[in-house]
Structure 1
């Protein structure tokens, strides 16, 4: 019997299409991949759709003979400012988490990023903190376990104890404010420097781009090595990838 082929269109966010295409190219069942727009990618899938279902870099899929099968991420408890699930997947890929590493989200909210880390790297040790007890309760309902109620400026973690930080910083549209961020961002950068290992990596998402860049430049213990602009739901935040500078960079 000939193999069934589905011709599908996947919808992601503006800024994630290249990552989606990269993952599709690694799938044996997927071919004829092409980007249609900033948010849509077309492909053909031969046979079962299992590989495609396992990919978390898109929201919906449509095509001849295929229903729009997904609420891609299942029933999650969320707040109005909870991180977009595909955005969380992008941030986790930028973090390059390895098995066994300790991964922290210091503004974890309802746990969207923590769940994305666990989906991508099941063997990672995932830690979430937030100052909001209601958000942490929802994160627990969503299946997150290692959680603590605390301020991100004073984390209950030892020095050099975290391999990766992945977080959506408050940037004042739905939570926080510009005035608060003027003191929050420098304090958070300093605290992340304290808890990150020497080879640590942080991925921080924000629309307060000038504030974050200024905080990083003044602290000098971390440097931006990569940026990715994302566009979704009227927001245009940038994901900043930070590592420690080499000794020559500090001269």
Structure 2
């Protein structure tokens, strides 16, 4: 029985293993390192191909094979596997409205559409060039709007899920700018989110985000997941309404 090694990001291996265990064609699943998972293959790989939680795969001793198609990207575009992790944390259901207020080139929007085809997806960004790339990446099949994250063009209490990769202040934005941006974005997320809504926000400017959440009494951080890739160590925070 051939063995396949899958490469993910540090912090996502448990999510990958959970999904692999639900696939009847895979056996002897085990984590090799923080970034790799091995499994034995006995049957069709169709379900495995549909899983977005790994970036490349190899039948040992063959070389790694990358699996994501070509997308237009900017230096700060969200890592493709990380986008898939964020969608899992968001627990999106068919028919729900999902908003990315920092959508950039559309990586998270595509991950949501792959994971939950029946979700309604909207991307917002203030960068014309990034939105043009997002339109091409999504083949203009997802609603895209140019606006500021601090003034979202959606109605109060209308969004079921917010999923976003916030500016860290490294490749894009600044820590000083985030002092105003994060509270403004949190106020808007609080305004647009439904009573049972959920937001998943990724950042390396962690203390600043938690301070903004603490000041926004309509939201509470209930879960966090540290991810490590390409020298970055951001945390994904899951926010819900306080009980």
Shorter-normalised TM range: over 0.9
Residue range with higher mean Cα deviation, 111-120 or 58-67: 58-67
Mapped partners of 1:27, 1:230: distance in 2: 25
Of the three residues 115, 120, 125, the one matched with 1:130 is 125
| Residues 1:83 and 2:72 aligned together | no
Supply the RMSD in Å over aligned alpha carbons.
Answer: 1.1
Mapped partners of 1:124, 1:52: distance in 2: 22
Mapped partners of 1:184, 1:102: distance in 2: 23
Mapped partners of 1:202, 1:173: distance in 2: 23
Query: What residue is the counterpart of 2:36 in the other structure?
Result: 40
Mapped partners of 2:17, 2:132: distance in 1: 35
What CA deviation, in whole Å up to 9, does each residue of 1:75-129 have, x standing for no partner? 1111110000000000000000000000000000000000000000000000000
Q: Is the 8 A contact 2:90 2:238 kept in 1?
A: yes
| Residues 1:195 and 2:199 aligned together | no
- Displacement of 1:189 in angstroms is 0.5
TM-score, scaled to structure 2: 0.97
| Residues 1:6 and 2:2 aligned together | yes
Query: What residue is the counterpart of 1:184 in the other structure?
Result: 181
Of the three residues 58, 62, 69, the one matched with 1:62 is 58
- Displacement of 1:48 in angstroms is 2.4
Query: What residue is the counterpart of 1:213 in the other structure?
Result: 210
| Residues 1:165 and 2:169 aligned together | no
SS of match in other structure, 1:154: coil
TM-score, scaled to structure 1: 0.94
SS of match in other structure, 2:170: coil
Mapped partners of 2:41, 2:130: distance in 1: 39
Alignment of 1:15-34 (within 5 A): 15-34=11-30
- Displacement of 1:173 in angstroms is 1.0
Mapped partners of 2:64, 2:231: distance in 1: 24
Query: Higher Cα Rg: structure 1 or 2?
Result: 1
- Displacement of 1:47 in angstroms is 2.0
SS of match in other structure, 2:2: strand
Q: Is the 8 A contact 2:5 2:60 kept in 1?
A: no
Of the three residues 235, 241, 248, the one matched with 2:238 is 241
- Displacement of 1:69 in angstroms is 3.5
- Displacement of 1:219 in angstroms is 1.4
Q: Moved runs in structure 1, 4+ residues, more than 6 A?
A: none
Question: Aligned residues, how many?
Answer: 241
Q: Structure 2: which 5+ residue stretches go unaligned?
A: none
